[in-house]
Amino acid sequence: MLLLTSSNAELNIKVIISVGNEMITNYDLDKEINYLNVITLGQIKKLDDQESKKVAIDSLVKDKIKITALSNYKNIIIKDEMLNNQIIKTSQKIGFRSFEDFVTFLKFQEYELDEFKKKILLELKWNQLVYQFYKNQIIIDKEKIDEKLKILIAEQKKNVNVEYLVYEIFIENAAIKELNKKSEEISTENNIVNENQDGIIIETESASYNNKKKLIDSEKSIKEAIDVIIEDQITIDDLIKNIKKKGFENTAIQFSSSPSAQQGGKLGWVGESKFSQLLLKFIKKTKIGSITKPIPISGGILILKVENKRIEENKIDLEKKMQELIDIEKNRQLNNFSTHYFNQVKNNIKIKYFND
């Protein structure tokens, strides 16, 4: 046990989880919840203490797994310019118009900018590691890109662009305890969506939250949060009930396996051409403000919320749009590679939860 003494209080710092040789303390848990409040614009504080701690612990464990993997590759260097640009980009995604406003917000939340930089730096290094490993395995299907571009050109001729404000929840097969048969009865030509062919865009940026700092030092509450992690399976029916009771965004934060989870599942405004034809059918027949039926895809279940719809004039720079479509496909494949590599690393690391 470590003992930290200040003029105001004494804080017992205890190790609550070990991830290989990396340790997570109750103090780390306190900081992580504060971080999640910063990046998620208000949803964490809507969860009860046990749920918010579960989300924070899950995030910390993932970070420690990535740190362990990166410890074997000291040659990965992120330039200051790239780091600073990513910090600014992230602050804009959160919703701040200027970096100065973001820094002021961090001070209000009692969260250090240097700590935020460490978080961004870790993700940049991890992404670079994944890219180095898998860059030669990225395959761009030119016919698919050309087909999507044709759809864009057709939309341009109509002089309108239909976009949907979409949120997602993705539940991996391993986290599904019991797939309700009624939820599986989906009237489509093909029941299973192949994510390699029909994957939607997944943003990894996070939103922001405003919550007061709250110290996590209750051994009982930490134990409760850890117990929730162990019981990590959920039925589809329970998931739908949770959405109705606590809202789509809170449910995404708690249960979604997608990188968009911390942002409440928000994918933002997505044009029709960026969805597979099958997913677009689900979206089009879903009322604004409603959710789709559970959609079986390879690896799990996908539920989309169609928050809004808009139609705008569409003037396309075809060369630029072509590159955007290629980049989207590259990022989609890299996200898949990242998940695959992460699970490989995780399977070789011993994770221990201390309940005492």
Residue 248, Cβ neighbours under 10 Å: how many? Answer: 24
103: helix, coil or strand?
A: helix
Residue 38 in any domain: the answer is no
Residue 103 in any domain: the answer is no
Residue 107 in any domain: the answer is no
pLDDT of residue 18: 94
* Tokens at 122, concatenated: 């870790």
Residue 334 in any domain: the answer is no
Residue 173 in any domain: the answer is yes
* Average pLDDT of the residues in 236-246: 89
Alpha-carbon distances of 152 from 157, 161, 195, 203, 308, rounded to whole Å: 9, 8, 21, 21, 20
**pLDDT tens-place string over residues 96-147:** 888 999 999 888 888 899 999 999 999 999 999 999 999 999 999 989 899 9
* Residue 150 parent element (H or E): helix 142-158
Q: Which CATH number does the domain housing residue 253 bear? A: 3.10.50.40
Give the whole-angstrom CA distance, residue 199 versus residue 193: 8
Alpha-carbon distances of 212 from 39, 60, 114, 256, 313, rounded to whole Å: 14, 20, 19, 25, 42
Q: What is the DSSP letter of 288?
A: T
Please, are residues 65 and 72 in contact by the beta-carbon 8 Å criterion?
A: no
pLDDT of residue 203: 34
Please, are residues 212 and 38 in contact by the beta-carbon 8 Å criterion?
A: no
Residue 268 in any domain: the answer is yes
Domain that holds residue 165: 142-218+233-320
Residue 172 pairs with which residues in a beta bridge? Answer: 300
Residue 160 in any domain: the answer is yes
Tell me which residue has tokens 């029909």: 198
pLDDT of residue 248: 94
Single-letter amino acid, residue 271: G
Residue 81 in any domain: the answer is no
Ranges of beta strands (E only) in 51-188 are 161-172
* Average pLDDT of the residues in 208-216: 31
* Average pLDDT of the residues in 226-237: 58
Mean pLDDT, the chain, as a whole number? 79
Residue 71 pLDDT > 50: yes
Look at the chain and report how many structural domains it folds into.
Answer: 1
**pLDDT tens-place string over residues 16-50:** 999 999 999 999 998 999 898 888 866 787 788 88
